[in-house]
Amino acid sequence: MSTIQLLALSDAQNDLVQVLVEPLRETFQADVELAASPIDLTQFFDVKRGQFNSTAILHVIKNQLANRHRNLRFKTHATKVALGVTGADLFIPILTYVFGEAELNGSAAVVSYYRLQNERYALPANRTLLEQRLIKEAVHELGHVLGLLHCQSPECVMHSSSYVEDIDLKSSEFCRSCKTSLFPRRK
């Protein structure tokens, strides 16, 4: 992967999205392009659930990325992936919520910081913790995009987290095994 396109989806706080640039650049050794996204999230709102359908959002991010590739005048071999960031509460139909969703071994992912905020759990707001959680979730979803599965190592960023406290227990880095799968030639 040579470029990560970081999309601040319509409702996302730009300063929070900005926080991701450096950690993603460093972790994936890739260029990070920060861009505003024209995607209108309201079309993905499920009235009954009061949540946004992440699978549908993911689909649109993926299509837009593909269209951009097609419209490029000079085709490059550089691989590009897109990560959408939102403050909306995401769901996939069978689950009550998700922190994010990714196309496994694909080109797009989406993360939400809605359930990463302490305030949602009647706790005092904590900006540092929120940023750390968001970095971990972004790295995690991009790991899936690059083909990584959940990791058994509790400290690895690819460890499955279905509860917000689980995110705090792991680090924002890949374990040695995941790193080797991701960057086989890097020492």
Partner 1 sequence: MNKNDVGILIVDDELIVRDSLTKWFREDGFRTDSADCAASALRKLQISSWDIALVDIKMPGMDGIELLQRIKEHKKEMIIIIITAFASVDTAVKALKEGAYDYVTKPIDPDYLDHLIAKALNERSLVRENLRLRDAVSELSEKDEIIGESAETQHVLEMVQTVAPTDTTVMIRGESGTGKELIARAIHTHSKRKYFPIVTVNCGALTESLLESELFGHEKGAFTGAQYRRKGKVELADCGTLFLDEVGNISMKTQMDLLRVIETKQFMRVGGSEIIHSDFRVICATNRDLEAAVKDGSFREDLYFRLNVFAIPLPPLRARRGDIAKLAHYFLDKYAKQMGRAKHGFSPDAMHTLKAYDWPGNVRELENAIERAMVVSKSGAIEKEDLPVQVHAAMQPNGKRLEDIERKYIETVLRETGWNISRSAHVLDIDRVTLYHKIEKFGLKRNQ
Q: To which H or E segment does residue 187 belong?
A: none
141 is catalytic: yes
In whole angstroms, how close is the CB of 75 to partner 1 at the nearest point? 30
Using the rule CB under 8 A, is 114 a contact of partner 1? no
Using the rule CB under 8 A, is 170 a contact of partner 1? no
Nearest to 39 by CA among 20, 16, 67: 67
Q: Are 24 and 138 in contact (CB under 8 A)?
A: yes
Environment class of 93 (CB within 10 Å of its CB; exposed 0-12, middle 13-18, buried 19+): exposed
* Cα distance between residue 15 and residue 40, in whole Å: 20
Residues in the chain: 187
Q: In what order do the strands lie in the sheet with 51-53?
A: 45-46, 51-53, 90-91
Using the rule CB under 8 A, is 97 a contact of partner 1? yes
> What is the 8-class DSSP label of residue 73?
S
Which listed residue (67, 71, 96, 128) binds partner 1 by CB under 8 A?
96
Using the rule CB under 8 A, is 115 a contact of partner 1? no
- Nearer residue to partner 1 within complex by CB, 2 or 105: 105
One of 141, 155, 165, 173 is an active-site residue; which one? 141
- Nearer residue to partner 1 within complex by CB, 14 or 162: 162
In whole angstroms, how close is the CB of 118 to partner 1 at the nearest point? 18
Where does this chain touch partner 1 (CB under 8 A) — which range of 86-94, 117-125, 128-136, 179-187?
86-94
183 three-state secondary structure: coil
Residues that bind partner 1 (CB under 8 A): 49, 55, 91-98, 102, 104, 144, 149-150, 160, 162-163
The residues annotated as belonging to the active site are: 141
